[in-house]
């Protein structure tokens, strides 16, 4: 085989090496380093560098180099390269400024009309000249490197934009939650007895949803519904909300309007979560159809509605109201158990008990219910009660 043929085969093999280096799954800098080895190994260059053009600083940044000292490449100004041919190798004799750098060949890297960077090579180790065949091959290689650098640059731009979008989304989300919490604070401020009630219902509901295996997006939705479930109370008079004496039938009817009012307010907001309006609207419905405002039956009540209903009642029972003292936790749980099937859902009650039991036993890293309960509660008694309810509700239904 002639030397020319052997050299041609070696060059073809080098192009295959280049393709493999460019398409590898390595990190960008490893990829560029492998590409650089292919070039210096193909042309036997004693020096070399790959530089990328930074559009913001308008400077050439050295990605990798060999044989050049750190300041050798500083005199290379992008504007000197712009008049040269795109991806066309330029020899020292045609570009005298290369002598300052100690380079023999320079290739300005372009993709379409965009200047991407430059490739520099020094003399050959064998002291031979760069042949026309070398320059043809170098042009092909330079085009591939330019595309690789451009792809990386586009990828970095896209990643930056994605990160910025994510930051803006998180910022918007914080504002959104802040607004919702401000709403809730306004509701709770109307009624001295229900301070932080919306906050607690939001917490309890999301804790139950998480235990049920809901995804993070849906948990956030029920958290917001918990905050807004009583927003309609803004339209109910303070005197009525804080009334100590028993309500008249007219007053009861007036207070019951709050869930529909909550829905009307929430419906004006385009939530990114599903069913928030439904959860807000129907948090006073019952499984037996005796709830309000629509007397919906069991099959019409979503898990979300059932969760908010239970969380709302549990917090109402364990909080002081104008017309009664607060119940201790075990009494509240006993009352809830009495109302299973008629008012509350067995499955949701079981999950509430499991969450609370886990929180008491320290099995959950961030408890959401326990910190809001009476600090003087006897946790041993509560835990024992919870275990009983869990066992009862977990048991398979007995045959009739």
Partner 1 sequence: MKQAQFSVASKLVGDAAVIYPKGYLNNLSGESLVKECGIYIRRGITKIVVNFSETDLINSIGISMLLQIMEDLRNIKGTICCTNMSKFLHDTFEMLGLIQHMTVFPAESDAIDYLKVRTT
Binding positions for partner 1, rule: CB under 8 A: 3, 6-7, 10, 13-14, 17, 21, 26, 30, 33-34, 36-42, 44, 46, 66-67, 125-126, 128
Q: Using N-to-C axis directions, what is the helix angle for 132-190 and 28-43, rounded to 10°?
A: 180
Report in angstroms how near the CB of residue 45 gets to partner 1 at its nearest.
8
Report in angstroms how near the CB of residue 18 gets to partner 1 at its nearest.
8
- Residue 247's Cβ-side half-sphere holds a number of Cα atoms within 13 Å equal to 15
Report in angstroms how near the CB of residue 118 gets to partner 1 at its nearest.
19
Beta strand ranges found along the chain (DSSP E): 48-54, 59-66, 90-91, 105-111, 114-121
Report in angstroms how near the CB of residue 7 gets to partner 1 at its nearest.
6
Q: Are strands 114-121 and 59-66 parallel, antiparallel or unpaired?
A: unpaired
Structure tokens at 150: 């451009």
Report in angstroms how near the CB of residue 163 gets to partner 1 at its nearest.
29
Distances (CA, A) of 68 to 133, 135, 254, 366: 25, 21, 85, 56
Structure tokens at 219: 């948990």
Select 30 or 157, whichever has its Cβ closest to partner 1.
30
Select 39 or 386, whichever has its Cβ closest to partner 1.
39
Could you tell me what percentage of the chain is helix, strand and coil, using 3-state DSSP and rounding each to the nearest 5?
Answer: 60, 10, 35
Select 29 or 58, whichever has its Cβ closest to partner 1.
29
Select 122 or 304, whichever has its Cβ closest to partner 1.
122
Cα(283)–Cα(276) distance, integer angstroms: 11
Cα(59)–Cα(56) distance, integer angstroms: 8
Let me know: does 84 contact 95? Beta carbons within 8 Å.
Answer: yes
Select 140 or 379, whichever has its Cβ closest to partner 1.
140
Report in angstroms how near the CB of residue 95 gets to partner 1 at its nearest.
25
Report in angstroms how near the CB of residue 362 gets to partner 1 at its nearest.
48
Cα(337)–Cα(397) distance, integer angstroms: 16
Report in angstroms how near the CB of residue 29 gets to partner 1 at its nearest.
11
Cα(394)–Cα(388) distance, integer angstroms: 10
Structure tokens at 304: 């979300």
Select 67 or 293, whichever has its Cβ closest to partner 1.
67
Select 47 or 282, whichever has its Cβ closest to partner 1.
47
Select 15 or 234, whichever has its Cβ closest to partner 1.
15
């Amino acid at each position: 085989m002639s030397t020319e043929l052997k050299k041609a085969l070696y060059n073809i093999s080098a192009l295959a090496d280049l393709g493999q280096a460019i398409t590898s799954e390595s990190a960008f800098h490893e990829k560029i380093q492998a590409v650089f080895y292919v070039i210096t190994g193909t042309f036997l260059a004693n020096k070399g560098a790959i530089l990328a053009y930074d559009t913001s600083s308008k400077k050439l940044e050295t990605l990798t180099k060999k044989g050049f000292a750190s300041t050798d490449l500083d005199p290379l100004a992008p504007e000197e390269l712009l008049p040269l041919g795109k991806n066309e190798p330029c020899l020292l004799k045609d570009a005298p400024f290369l002598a300052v750098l100690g380079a023999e060949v320079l290739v300005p890297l372009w993709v379409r009309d965009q200047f991407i960077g430059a490739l520099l090579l020094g003399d050959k180790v064998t002291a031979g000249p760069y042949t026309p065949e070398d320059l043809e091959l170098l042009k092909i290689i330079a085009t591939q490197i330019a595309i690789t650098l451009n792809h990386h640059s586009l990828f970095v731009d896209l990643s930056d934009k994605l990160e910025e979008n994510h930051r803006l989304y998180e910022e918007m989300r914080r504002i959104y939650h802040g607004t919702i919490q401000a709403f809730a604070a306004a509701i709770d401020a109307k009624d001295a007895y229900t301070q932080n009630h919306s906050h607690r219902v939001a917490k309890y509901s999301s804790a139950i949803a998480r235990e049920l295996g809901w995804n993070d997006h849906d948990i956030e939705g029920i958290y917001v519904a918990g905050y807004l479930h009583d927003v309609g109370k803004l339209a109910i008079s303070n005197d009525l909300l804080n009334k100590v004496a028993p309500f008249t039938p007219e007053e009861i009817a007036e207070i019951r309007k709050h869930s529909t009012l909550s829905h009307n307010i929430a419906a004006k907001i385009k939530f990114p979560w599903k069913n928030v309006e439904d959860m807000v609207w129907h948090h006073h419905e019952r499984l037996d159809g005796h709830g309000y405002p629509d007397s919906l039956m069991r099959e019409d009540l979503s898990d979300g509605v059932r969760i908010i209903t239970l969380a709302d009642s549990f917090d109402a029972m364990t909080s002081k109201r104008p017309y009664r003292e607060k119940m201790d936790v075990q009494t509240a749980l006993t009352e809830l158990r009495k109302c299973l099937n008629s008012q509350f859902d067995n499955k949701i009650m079981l999950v509430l008990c499991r969450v609370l039991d886990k929180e008491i036993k320290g099995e959950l890293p961030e408890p959401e219910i326990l910190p809001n309960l009476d600090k003087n509660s006897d946790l041993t008694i509560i835990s024992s009660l919870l275990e009983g309810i869990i066992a009862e509700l977990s048991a398979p239904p007995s045959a009739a």
